[in-house]
Structure 1
Amino acid sequence: MDLDNLLNKNQKEAATYLDSHLRIIAGAGSGKTRVVTYRIAYLIDEIGVDPRKILAITFTNKAANEMKERVSNLLGPHALGSLICTIHSLCVRILRQHINVINYPSNFMIMDEEDQKALIKKIYNNLDIDAKTISIKSMIASISNYKMANVSPERALELAGQFQGEIKKAKVYKEYLDYQENHFMLDFDDLLLKAVYIFENYPDVLEKWQHRFQYIHVDEFQDVGNIEYRLVKLMAKKAITCVVGDPDQTIYSFRVLM
């Protein structure tokens, strides 16, 4: 693999630098994902790293599939074993193996947005709430905000004060959580939250995943929120981590993993 002809000078330097954690900052269209692809290929083909010791996290299935295809085209069967996936897919892998520690079955159900909408419609009917007064879309957003802020239904009701709309939202939130727990259902926020909870409270599980990967890559790092950041930081303690992104596109602060 002739990187001198495949990458420019800066791209090659980023793809082959392995001495410590690396943050690659570059604008749109500058070949950031290309660098990550060749970096993975370089680790496997030139350095001899076991593909199973390499993780690459993306934020869309499309990006993950494109990166997998690129690495496969470069290395063929040698690429098999490296884990290239979305952060939610990674969490599913973690939870399928370890969610039993918090008394959930490994065959838990994953809710997509349509499942959420259907459940909220059902709760609205039970509570006699008109979707014209609180849209289902805004209710989904409120539930996500409650969860990410670690606000319980009881606390949400306290915070609602005398505002009837907020009181209704808190009641829907409680019904939503109760239904999830009774049916062992997790939405996309739960995948992140429960994976982080297990890592932070069950050190033996965390240690297993920290030893699993030698090199971790995070594409589009500017899109990482607080919970994703916590997950990656926990996993990266024993791995060399490469994050790639464009701070001009970020909606969060652009941080370096330490």
Structure 2
Amino acid sequence: MEVWGPNPMITTILPDMASGKTRMNHYFNGWVMVSRRFDDATLPQVKAANPLESSWVLANAGSGKTRVLTNRVVRLLLAGTSPQKILCITFTNAAATNMLNRLGETLGGWAMLSNENLRDRLLNLGEDESSLTPEKLDSARTLFARALETPGGMKIQTFHSFATTLLKQFPLEAGVSPQFKLIDDRKSRNIQIDLLNDLVETDREIVGQLSKYLDYENLKQFTKDIFDKRDYFTGEASKGFIWKKFDVQEGWNETSFVNSITPGNIQLIKSMIPYLLKGSITDKTKGKLLAEALETENTNIIAFQLAKASESWGRRKLTDSRKTRFSAYSLCQGSRNTRRHENSNLPFLCNYLVETIPAGSGCFSPVQVD
């Protein structure tokens, strides 16, 4: 059967006597290109595996992406790309191992195939038969050996493995010790557990204080956060970092925080309580506690309840001026549409709080709220 196509090209569909499958001969300007005819499910994969077709592969899980990407690597090698210039990065070790095994099976199998069978395999990849010269077939048989001889082997690795390789090559540029060692998540968790056990045995007072605010799981997460940011905890230097981070004067402590609760601040807290009592269950609870604290007229109690309330508002600390202003904004604004009309009080409340903080305390800096 003959079908005339555009740019005067004739497409002749002939049976492939060797495989029993259908081939498609393209005649154009005297050149003949013969390629395998694929079904609707296979054709998109063949196109995606062609490195000249597209640089992007998008597909659902289980749709054959690993095979497509492996075939793309094979076709890059067939086109003459050096193995050491190909980098494959995966999310998991299992995927990297799968790709490496498939690549080895494919290239290793080619080394022992006859010309006829090897040509059939290459046609199934999407290669044009006109390009399958004896020289190219011989070159395809040597790809397995070339891959094995590549210094360090084919680069098929996970993100973490690739990053580790870069760090080992450029430790000084990355700011790490040249003798660094990589630990996995399980070893990291074991180190954290050992640290907690040592802390329980050596300093029960600290553990007792932490247990008031953190259960066991949160305590493990807390130690992980410290572990991840261990450079911040270097003796006395860490205090200076904390004071600078929260924009407070050197020596700022709990007493300083209590002393910052001025009459003006108390008035602001009183103004916020009605909004809390209209909010969620948590907001109502905090509002009641603050109201009870205000009745005592004891700044220590007020400061304690205010600090507890601030922890539930996105864990924002009152000593961080930017986060505190954001907390005040969120508190006054509320999350429900029914309270939008109350937002007109926001500029007054926030600016009132700014004006009543003692000058130079570092808690707040002037802010214009629109």
Structure 1 length as normaliser, TM-score?
0.49
Which has the larger Rg? 2
Quick check: which one's helix share is greater? 1
